[in-house]
Amino acid sequence: MKVRAFVTTDRTGGDSLRIYHKIENFSKKHKFTRWLYKATFKLPHDSSKDTVLRKQISTAGYEGKIVRHIIVKTTDPFGYHLRDTSLSPRSFIQRGGNFLHNRSSPLTIKNQLLIKRDRPLDLLLLKESERLLRQSSYIMDVTFDVIPVEGTDSVDVYIREQDLWSIGVGIGVSGTKQTLLFRDKNFLGLSHQMEGWFYYFNNENKYLLEGSYTIPYFLNTYITTTAIFSTSKDRYVNGISINRPFYSSVTKWAGGIDYLFHGLTDSIRFPEAPSLVYGIRYRDLDVWAGRSFPLALGNGEEARGTRLITALRVLDRRYSEIPPPSADSTHLYTTSQFYIGAIGISTRTYYRDTYIYRYGIPEDIPAGRMAQVLFGYEDGTNTGRLYAGAQAGLGQHFHNFGYISTFLGYGTFLRNAKAEQSVINTTLGYFSDLLHVGNWGYRQFVKSQLVYGIYRKPGEGININDENGIKGFNSSSLKGTNKIVMTLQSQFYLPYSLIGFHFAPFIFCHFGMLGNDDSPFQKGRVYQGYGLGLIIKNELLAIRTFQISFGFYPFVPDVGNSIPKYNPLKTYNFTFRDFEIGKPSPVVYE
């Protein structure tokens, strides 16, 4: 077990360090206490006394120089640190974990690079390569160094990468079922991702298997293929998805194809009559393509990241089984072909920060803006209808204030020049700069959303349950056509770790209001959720976050008053939304 300081400032060297040194001096008196101290504590690292500490070399002046060699050094998860080459695995657990781990091959890393050998060095592509590698699910961190070759006009690029422990196993046991999960996010060190779920239902003596296999970055094309399967007959998705997104601001072509089969078994209750059980079965063939064009002149990052983007999509949905008329009086489930296009302008840049969602690992935060116009046509069983919409977004970091982003969208279908199923969806997000309370780190997160449905069909509605508004809140009857929700979360980062696990306590407040055409949400009740919890993170693991939380809900319809809940939250991630214009989709109503 290791305990170490959190921040790299001198504030970590106060009274707490003197206590650690007293414990260290005492431990030296006996062999057993000396061994126990080494196994338990790790003092904060003093980088000023370490001549082996790696420092990021400036890339200024290397633009356009020929890349002679790209040297990749991959390391196992445990016992190493990319910015301190003096560290190496020491304990049996670290060496044993590394022995069981399939280290990423250098070819796997090179497969994600945008820079090439024997070509001029493009610093934007170098930066984008580092960002793309860092956001990969099998990588903990990566560093790039550019070294000039003496006597030539060439450079060598040195890449050091540290793997995550990619294998995860989970077991769940309850009175009705047993669950076994196996996950590998870096199968055989190739960056392939496999996941399998096995269920056994006691009462029905039934087995169920679900899973997926993903091959990302195929031959440096950034084409990702995922196969999905399920043996369930009641709720399933089976098929294959092949996609290439606008993964970088300089990507020219994007597109994809999904061929998926969906199944759902549901029921409807009638007063004084047996429930009606019905199935919904349909097949989706979803094809899209996009093209990006440079818009601004200049070689700066923002100029090159500003693009005019056009995209087209065709979604062919065919139902083989639909609900009976008593369960679908408005004919929501009908075979249709949906054609939708988008044209817009996007500016994508990124800035680097730490201690947001990860512990001390650099994070690339999107900053930029986008605006797009959506247009389409749906040809269904009934008469066809047009679609029109628009979306815009803006995000930026302000010094000594924090990061703020906002998105606004409006979309509507038009049938015989009359609007139907219209929606306004707007979000606002904020998190503060990293503040300090003693040795603790602290950030404030805020997220709000307004969804307003206009001319929605009878039976359509939205709620504020769980991820849709108030986490841990769940009411089966509370629905509306419009809502406003807000989440406040104070996140703390403790200055210690225990065998690689870090601790981040938090306090949260959730608020939500629902309304409809007859009674707008402004006149409704404010539903609330309050609580606190502890996030336990280990950046070396593929499943890196564990969480304990307690919530309190003053009133939940259908449930009661003053409702306590254990572990109502699954994650504190407020997410970063990129300013990419990609696969065209209607403005979401949820």
For the chain, domain boundaries: 10-44, 66-163, 233-566
For residue 150, the 8-state DSSP code is T
Number of H helices, E strands in the chain: 6, 25
Using pLDDT thresholds of 50, 70 and 90, give the confidence band for residue 570: low
Q: Which residue has the higher pLDDT, 263 or 170?
A: 263
> In terms of Cα–Cα distance, which of 428, 443, 365 is closest to 397?
365
**Pairwise CA distance, residues 284 & 83, whole Å:** 47
> In terms of Cα–Cα distance, which of 287, 228, 288 is closest to 262?
228
User: Model confidence over 428-474: pLDDT tens digits?
Assistant: 999 999 998 888 999 999 999 999 999 998 878 899 998 889 988 99
Q: What is the mean pLDDT of residues 328-352?
A: 90
pLDDT of amino acid 228: 96
pLDDT of amino acid 33: 53
Please name the helix (run of DSSP H) or strand (run of DSSP E) that holds residue 17, with its range, or none. Answer: helix 15-27
pLDDT of amino acid 25: 58
The pTM assigned to this predicted structure is: 0.82
6, pLDDT greater than 60: no
**For residue 428, what are the contacts with CB-CB under 8 A and spacing of at least 6?**
404, 405, 406, 446, 447, 448, 449
In this structure, is the dihedral angle defined by the CA atoms of residues 578, 579, 580 and 583, taken in order, positive or negative? Answer: positive
Using pLDDT thresholds of 50, 70 and 90, give the confidence band for residue 542: low
Phi, psi of 189 (to 5 degrees): 75, 20
pLDDT of amino acid 573: 64
For residue 123, the 8-state DSSP code is H
54, pLDDT greater than 50: no
Residue for token digits 């930029």?
368
489, pLDDT greater than 80: yes
pLDDT of amino acid 31: 54
483, pLDDT greater than 60: yes
| 482 CB burial (10 A radius; 0-12, 13-18, 19+) | buried
Q: What is the mean pLDDT of residues 306-324?
A: 94
> In terms of Cα–Cα distance, which of 582, 8, 587 is closest to 245?
582
Establish how many alpha carbons lie within 13 A of residue 545's alpha carbon, considering only the half-sphere containing its beta carbon: 15
Q: What would the two tokens of residue 87 be?
A: 């560290």
Q: What would the two tokens of residue 498 be?
A: 């225990």
pLDDT of amino acid 420: 92
Using pLDDT thresholds of 50, 70 and 90, give the confidence band for residue 9: very low
Q: What would the two tokens of residue 232 be?
A: 């369930």
Q: Are 481 and 473 in contact (CB under 8 A)?
A: no
Mean pLDDT of the chain: 85
Q: Give the best-scoring range by mean pLDDT among 12-26, 45-59, 538-552.
A: 538-552
> In terms of Cα–Cα distance, which of 378, 268, 269, 288 is closest to 334?
378
Q: What would the two tokens of residue 225 be?
A: 């293929």
pLDDT of amino acid 58: 55
User: Model confidence over 146-180: pLDDT tens digits?
Assistant: 999 988 899 999 999 999 888 888 787 777 788 89
Using pLDDT thresholds of 50, 70 and 90, give the confidence band for residue 1: very low
CATH for 233-566?
2.40.160
User: Model confidence over 361-376: pLDDT tens digits?
Assistant: 888 999 999 999 999 9
Q: Are 199 and 208 in contact (CB under 8 A)?
A: yes
Q: Give the least confident one: 21-25, 130-134, 295-299, 318-322.
A: 21-25
**Pairwise CA distance, residues 519 & 528, whole Å:** 19
Q: Are strands 336-353 and 306-321 parallel, antiparallel or unpaired?
A: antiparallel
Q: What would the two tokens of residue 427 be?
A: 């979000």
40, pLDDT greater than 60: no
Query: Is 528 in a helix, a strand, or coil?
Result: strand
Counting residues of the chain whose pLDDT is more than 90, the rounded percentage is 51
Alpha-helical runs (H) found in 88-140:
92-100, 106-110, 123-134
Q: What is the mean pLDDT of residues 208-236?
A: 93
Multiple choice CATH, 66-163, 3.40.50.150, 1.10.3720.10, 3.10.20.310, 3.40.50.970: 3.10.20.310
pLDDT of amino acid 215: 94
pLDDT of amino acid 14: 39
CA end-to-end distance (rounded Å), the chain: 45
Q: How many other CB atoms are found less than 10 A from the CB of residue 8? A: 13
